[in-house]
Structures are given as C-alpha cells and as structure tokens.
Amino acid sequence: MKSIEDMMKAAQEAAATVQAQMQEAQAKLDAVEVEGVSGGGLVKVLASAKGRIKSISIDDSLMLMSEKQMLEDLLAAAFNDAREKADVVSNDEMGRMTSSLPLPPGFKLPF
C-alpha cells in the first residue's frame, strides 16, 4: 500500500498537470475565432472562443441615422451569435481535455 506522502505527491503532480492542460486549452481558445452574423450579413462580429471581441463589420447601407435602432439591435444579435458559437467551441475543447482526466461521475471543473 502506498504511503500518504506518496499519494499526496501523486495528487499534487496530477493537479499540476491539470493546471498546465487548462492553461494550454485557454490559450488555444483565445486563438480560435468565431464569427457572429445578423441582418443577413449586414453586421458581423469576430470574437475569440473565449468571447473576446476582435472586430465588428457594419455594412455601409446601415450608416443612416434613421437606421440607428436597427443597427443597435443587429449589433446585439451579432454579439449574441458570436458568444453562442464561442461557447460551443469552448465546451468542445474543454470536453476533449477533461475526457482524459480520471474525474468522478458528475464532477465539474470550474469554467
């Protein structure tokens, strides 16, 4: 039987490995780009899979003051579309990473 010290050392090494894998996954997610679109492509939002907005593209036809409310609504829709796509990519990546970990059923890592 292993001593408690051996088990503690193994647990610390496993925790360090998980932490390194988490940092690597987070870095990968920041490099993955998703595009949210609304208004049939009139408004586009480019974001990282972590949800960081990288750019916004607005079709020239929407730059009229009379279209201000519609533009604001389209921007909100495009942000939400990008966020949903980022969540899917993030969950897939984290699921791949955690599937190899020996976690008890129902255990969730904090993301």
- With a cut of 70, say whether residue 59 has pLDDT above it: yes
Q: How far is 48 from 21, CA to CA, in rounded Å?
A: 19
**pLDDT-derived band at 62, boundaries 50, 70, 90:** confident
Which stretch of DSSP H or E encloses residue 104? none
What pTM value is reported for the model? 0.56
List, in order of start, the domains of the chain with CATH numbers.
Answer: 35-95 (3.30.1310.10)
Q: Is the pLDDT of residue 41 over 90?
A: yes
* CB within 8 Å of 101: residues ≥ 6 apart: 18
- Tell me which of 95 and 66 has the higher pLDDT: 66
Average pLDDT on 6-25 reads 82
Reading the block at residue 83, the tokens are 């966020």
Q: Is the pLDDT of residue 111 over 50?
A: no
